[in-house]
Amino acid sequence: MLKTIKEIFRTGDATVKYPFAPIERPPYARGKPEHDVAACIACAACAVACPPNAIQMKVDPKGGTITWSINYGRCVFCGRCEEVCPTKAIKLSEEFELAVMDKNDLEETCTYPLQRCSECGTYFASAKEVDYAVRILRQGEDDDEKQRAAASATICPKCKQKADAYRAKRRSALMGVQQ
């Protein structure tokens, strides 16, 4: 009994002033994911990795846009999005006080334009993603290859397939002539 009372005096107050005073979180604590609008290329890697589907992508094929959205109400703060992002456009911040008065405020969205195919004119991928691919392709060594790759970057997979098929047909026809 006496020991318990001594212990009470020794330890004093265990509580902290939070929420009336700010509380310190350790470094690397995982909080709200912050989206860098400029760095994001709308490639959807985060949407694929997100376990609770808090991050989703929605394509509007008529309007030619792709919309990235996050719902902080679903987010489990695992940080997989940060890990898989190729351009470091998502970073987990230290902010953890996310309560809102209106549920709709939990959702954030960002809309990006889609790229039209330079052959058939349909939208096929995020414009910034195509641009990102071109920039990577330009870093190659072979100048010829670089140019060809960059030139074909704006062609949709369907048209590429078609072009490949025609080329193959032409080649086999040519070979037939030679024989």
CB of 164 to another protein, least distance (A): 28
Show the tokens assigned to 141: 């060594």
Interaction between residue 177 and another protein (CB under 8 A): no
Cβ 12 to another protein shortest distance, Å: 10
Q: Tokens 């330890």 map to which residue?
A: 11
Cα–Cα dist 52/58, whole Å: 16
The C-alpha atoms of residue 154 and residue 131 are separated, in whole angstroms, by 9
The smaller minimum CB distance to another protein, of residues 88 and 167, is found at: 88
Shortest distance, position 51 Cβ to another protein, whole Å: 4
Q: Which is nearer to another protein, 15 or 139 (CB)?
A: 15
* Residues within window 5-34 making contact with another protein, judged by CB under 8 A: 7-8, 11, 14, 25-26, 28-30
Question: Encoding tokens for residue 127?
Answer: 């414009």
Q: How far is the CB of 29 from another protein (least distance, A)?
A: 5
Amino acid residing at 51: P
Q: Please report, as residue ranges, which positions from 73 to 112 form the binding site for another protein (by CB under 8 A).
A: 76-80, 83
The residue type of 95 is E
Distance separating alpha carbons of residues 41 and 161, to the nearest angstrom: 25
d(CA 87, CA 101): 33
Which residues of the chain form contacts with another protein (CB under 8 A)?
3-4, 7-8, 11, 14, 25-26, 28-30, 49-52, 76-80, 83
